[in-house]
Amino acid sequence: MSRVLFIRHAETEMAGRYCGHSDPDLSSQGRVQVVRLSQLLAEEMLDTVYSSDLRRAASTAEAIAAGRDIPRVLRPALREIHFGDWEGLSWEEVERSDPDYAQKWVKSYPNLPAPSGERFENFERRVLAEVDHLMDRSPGPIAVVTHGGVLRVALRHLCGYSEARAWQETQQYCCVVRYEGESK
């Protein structure tokens, strides 16, 4: 039986833009969010804090682990999907630069990647292998600090959430979703 706190990173300077493998700093609002999050989780028993190696997740994980005698482990497999040529762009900029491909992408999602981006099935396979590995390795309690897309894949897989529910649960920066159960 595993006990996991799945946590989305704090807000970044690129909020509202495609920010898969881009590595921005936290925004001023994000720095406030990590303080609140660390206070919220101060009494939470944790054996390890795992996070994506990107700064937004690593900084959030660092705040959670601060003052605790527990390891903080960076895991590149917990990165968000790579958005290729769309990294750093807003949706409006994507639509202006290539409206035909943008519409095709919307209609075909998740089967069509962003130009030069990671295919969703590869992303999903990477995420599920990593989550299963962490849960098998560390029955918990653990925290996994990562990105919205990663969380949605994990929640659909582990909890049977619909895409709509997974989206709703992971919209807020620094959201915490508790999971107790077995890896699948």
Q: Quick one: pLDDT band at residue 138, thresholds 50, 70, 90?
A: confident
96's CB contacts (< 8 A; 6+ apart) are: none
pTM of the entire structure?
0.94
44-68: pLDDT as tens digits: 999 999 999 999 999 999 999 999 9
Q: What is the pLDDT of residue 99?
A: 96
Break the chain down into helix, strand, coil percent, rounded to 5: 45, 15, 40
Q: Give yes or no for a contact between 87 and 18, defined as CB atoms under 8 angstroms apart.
A: yes
pLDDT in tens, 68-106: 999 999 999 999 999 999 999 999 999 999 999 999 999
Give the mean pLDDT of the chain.
95
Scanning the structure block, which residue is given the tokens 């619909």? 162
**pLDDT, position 58:** 98
d(CA 128, CA 126): 6
pLDDT at 162: 94
Q: How many CB atoms lie within 10 A of CB 35?
A: 12
State the Cα–Cα distance between residues 77 and 106, nearest whole angstrom: 26
**Is the previous residue joined to 110 through a cis bond, with omega within 30 degrees of 0?**
yes
Q: What pLDDT is recorded for position 184?
A: 61
Instruction: Walk me through the domains of the chain, giving residue ranges and CATH numbers.
Output: 2-181 (3.40.50.1240)
Q: Burial letters for 84-113: b for 16+ Cβ neighbours within 10 Å, e otherwise?
A: eebbebeeeebeeeeeebbeebeeeeeeeb
